A and B are shown apart, each in its own frame.
Chain A
Amino acid sequence: MLKTDQYTINIGPQHPSTHGGLHAEALMDGEIVKDVVVHLGYVHRSVEKIAESRTYTQFIPYASRLDYLASHLPCLGYVQAVEKLLGVEVPERAEYIRVILAELSRIASHMIFVGSLAIDLAATTGLVYCLRDRERIMDLFEMSSGQRLIAAYMRIGGLSADLPEEFFPAAQSFLTDIPRMIEEYNGLITGNEILQARCKGVGVLTAEMALAYGVTGPNLRASGVAYDLRKADPYGIYDRFEFDLPTGKAGDGLDRLIVRLKEIEQSGHIVRQALSQMPEGEIRSKVPKLLKPAPGKEVYHRIESSKGELGFYLLSDGSEKPARLHVRAPSFINLMVLPLISRGGRLQDIITNIATLDPVLGESDR
Chain B
Amino acid sequence: MGTSDFAPDKIWADLQQAAGVQFTVTLEPFFVNITVTPDDLVPILKVLQNRLGMNYLANITSVDYGAEFEIIYHLYAIPDNSRKLKVKTRVPRSAAQLDSVFPLYPTADWQEREIFDLMGIRFNAHPNLVRVLLPDDFKGHPLRKDFGKEEQ
Contacts and interface: CB of A to CB of B under 8 A. Distances in A.
**A–B touching in complex (CB under 8 Å):** yes
Interface of A: 40-41, 44, 46, 48-49, 84, 211-214, 225-227, 232-233, 299-300, 302, 309, 311, 313, 315, 323-324, 326, 328, 332-333, 335-336, 365-366
Chain A binding surface SS class: mixed
Contact of B110 (A309, A313, A326, A332): A332
Interface residues of B, number: 33
A365 B58 contact: no
A297 to B, nearest CB: 10
A326 B59 contact: yes
B55 interface: yes
Contacts of B118: 48
Interface in B22-72: 30-31, 55-59, 61, 63-64, 72
A333 B111 contact: yes
Contacts of B63: 315, 323-324
Nearest to B109: A336
B59 A300 contact: yes
Contact of A49 (B106, B110, B142): B142
Contacts of A48: 118, 143
A226 B59 CA distance: 20
Interface of B: 30-31, 55-59, 61, 63-64, 72, 74, 76, 78-79, 81, 86, 105-107, 109-111, 114, 118, 131-135, 142-143, 147
Contacts of A335: 110
Contacts, number: 82
Contact of A212 (B72, B74, B106): B106
24 contacts: A41-B131, A41-B132, A44-B134, A48-B143, A211-B78, A213-B109, A214-B105, A225-B78, A226-B79, A233-B76, A299-B30, A302-B58, A302-B59, A311-B58, A311-B59, A311-B74, A313-B74, A323-B63, A328-B58, A332-B110, A333-B110, A335-B110, A365-B133, A366-B133
Contacts of B110: 332-333, 335-336
Contacts of A302: 58-59
A302 B61 CA distance: 14
A322 B131 CA distance: 25
Given A311-B74, A313-B72, A323-B63, 9 more contacts: A40-B132, A44-B133, A84-B30, A214-B57, A233-B81, A311-B58, A313-B74, A315-B63, A366-B133
Contacts of A326: 59, 61
Nearest to A233: B81
